[in-house]
Amino acid sequence: MSTKDTIDIGVLGYRFMGRAHSNALARLPMFFPEAPKTVRHTLIGRDEEALTEAAEQFGFANTTTDWNEAIEKVDILYNLGPNHIHPEPSIAAVEADTHVFCEKPMAPTLKQAKEMREAAADSNALAGCAFNYRFVPALQYAKELIDDGELGEIHHFRGRYLQDWLVDPDAPWSWRNSRELAGSGALGDLGAHTLDLAQFLVGNVERVSGHLQTFVDERPVPDEDDTRPVTVDDAYSAQAELEGGVMGTFEASRFATGHKNDHTIEIHGSEGSLKFSLERMNELKILRGDDRGYETVLVTDESDPYIDHWWPPGHVISWEHIFVHENYEFLTAIREGKEFSPSFEDAYQVQCVLDAIHQSSKQNQWIKLDDIIR
């Protein structure tokens, strides 16, 4: 256990995920008073004017445009930048024994993810990956049911993640449309979450057959009279075999008209089944070994995971609260010298599946994960 009274945190990135994690750090002492005490020490970015404004809004004491400088001054680097920014700062941090909490997917390429994994394995620092959906109370409850054998032998895992923000062909180009910067499209951006939940709830993927498709080949560049090519997938689907002979089906799309953030999973076993939808994230539908149909359980009781820290039973929590949960777990693991999951090792396993699905789509054949993981 660390003897230091506070943990100094540096955050790289101040947009979507930077805002989400900064908000979680601010909420943490209010609702989880037993959590380690943290200091929002340094905010890291490229635009000094925007950086100064964000630091004031998010409660950071310092700013820098040099992540190397921050690594020397903080206890944890939160790497929340675009995917291509994940490898170099994360590796430098763990090599300096500075803890790292990195957003998903781990890296644009499997080679870079392997380098991050190996650097973390050789470090005294803790390296975690921010697969935040593991920390939804309903999914933690689902994990308990599965581990306790309530569903019997698991036969099926079905997962899909649907959004529609790219349906308009004139939607602007961004780094998320670039293979070089992002690694993949819907596959890594959305599918990584579903694959991690499969790994968390059921087990590792052993082989896959995948299909990737791009619907719009180029998009307008913001503030320019020009377009850039789209070099990633707009949608993917995959069949899979998970350990223990579990049959898996996965899909994700950023072209699913009418779906804003629709992440759903279904798990079917010999004694029961369950269904979860992120759009109703406080609910879990459970079928317990009979023919009476699914029961909808509102996972908001004090006895449910994390809920004793929030509101009275029936008073739901929302998407932002699961960032508080994952930050609590990661920071507590650092204070107590324990392992944290999802780790860089866990994230690397997901990255291997992403790569296998991409290879399968190109080669039009099944890919065994044993042929990917080295």
Q: What is the mean pLDDT of residues 196-205?
A: 98
Q: Please tell me the predicted confidence (pLDDT) of residue 178.
A: 97
**Total count of domains within the chain:** 2
Q: Please tell me the predicted confidence (pLDDT) of residue 372.
A: 86
Residue 358 lies in a domain: yes
Q: What is the mean pLDDT of residues 28-51?
A: 96
- Both 97 and 163 in one domain: the answer is no
Complete DSSP assignment for 10-67: EEE--SHHHHHHHHHHHHHHHH-TTSPEEEEEEEE-S-HHHHHHHHHHHT-SEEES-H
CATH number of the structural domain spanning residue 89: 3.40.50.720
Residue 328 lies in a domain: no
Of the candidates 102, 70, 69, the one whose C-alpha atom is nearest the C-alpha of residue 84 is 102
Residue 1 has pLDDT above 50, yes or no: no
User: Using one digit for the tens of pLDDT, what is the confidence trace for 282-319?
Assistant: 999 999 977 679 999 999 999 999 999 999 999 999 99
- Both 61 and 141 in one domain: the answer is no
For 309, the domain range is 133-318+342-368
User: Using one digit for the tens of pLDDT, what is the confidence trace for 232-264?
Assistant: 999 999 999 999 999 999 999 999 999 999 999
Residue 2 has pLDDT above 70, yes or no: no
Q: How far apart are CA 54 and CA 19, in angstroms?
A: 9
Domain final residue, candidates 110, 131, 152: 131
Residue 59 lies in a domain: yes
Residue 105 lies in a domain: yes
- Both 116 and 145 in one domain: the answer is no
Residue 332 lies in a domain: no
Contact 306, 138 (CB under 8 A): no
Q: How far apart are CA 71 and CA 100, in angstroms?
A: 10
Residue 330 lies in a domain: no
- Both 96 and 195 in one domain: the answer is no
Contact 77, 106 (CB under 8 A): no
Q: What is the mean pLDDT of residues 82-92?
A: 98
Residue 47 lies in a domain: yes
Q: Is the dihedral of CA 107, 249, 231, 163 positive or negative?
A: negative
- Both 271 and 348 in one domain: the answer is yes
Element (H, E) at 348: helix 344-363
Q: How far apart are CA 37 and CA 25, in angstroms?
A: 10
- Both 203 and 88 in one domain: the answer is no
Complete DSSP assignment for 240-296: EEEGGGEEEEEEEES--TT-SSEEEEEEEESSEEEEEEGGGTTEEEEEESSSS--EE
CATH number of the structural domain spanning residue 257: 3.30.360.10
- Both 187 and 148 in one domain: the answer is yes
Strands (E), 60-133: 62-64, 76-79, 99-102, 127-129
Domain final residue, candidates 131, 154, 180: 131
- Both 91 and 193 in one domain: the answer is no
Beta carbons within 10 angstroms of residue 241's beta carbon: 17
Q: How far apart are CA 133 and CA 139, in angstroms?
A: 8
- 128-141 core/surface letters (b: 16 or more CB in 10 A; e: else): bbbbbbbbbbbbbb
Q: What is the mean pLDDT of residues 129-155?
A: 98
- Both 89 and 161 in one domain: the answer is no
Domain final residue, candidates 131, 155, 178: 131
Q: What is the mean pLDDT of the chain?
A: 96
Q: How far apart are CA 326 and CA 340, in angstroms?
A: 10
- Both 255 and 360 in one domain: the answer is yes
Residue 7 has pLDDT above 60, yes or no: yes
Report residue 188 as tokens: 């890594």
- Both 190 and 94 in one domain: the answer is no
If phi over 0 gives left and psi between -120 and 50 gives alpha, with beta otherwise, what is residue 59?
left
Report residue 121 as tokens: 């394995």
Residue 324 lies in a domain: no
- Going by pLDDT thresholds of 50, 70 and 90, the confidence category of residue 374 is low
Q: Please tell me the predicted confidence (pLDDT) of residue 264.
A: 98
- Both 275 and 357 in one domain: the answer is yes
